[in-house]
Amino acid sequence: MNKGRLLILLAVLSAVVGVAAVAFFAGDTYALGILRVRQVTPDQLAQAMQSDEFYSDFRHNTLLVRGPVAAVYREAGGVILEFQTQHGAKTLCQLGQNPAAIHVGSTVTAATEGAGAQRLSSGVLLTDCVVGAP
CA distance 23 to 9: 21
Whole-model pTM? 0.72
Q: Is the pLDDT of residue 30 over 80?
A: no
CA distance 21 to 83: 44
pLDDT for position 2 = 80
Q: Is the pLDDT of residue 97 over 70?
A: no
* 109 closest CA partner among 70, 49, 74, 63: 63
CA distance 105 to 78: 20
> In the chain, what is the straight-line distance between the N-terminal and C-terminal CA atoms, in Å?
72
Comparing 35 with 85, the larger pLDDT belongs to 85
pLDDT for position 87 = 83
Comparing 105 with 134, the larger pLDDT belongs to 105
CA distance 133 to 101: 7
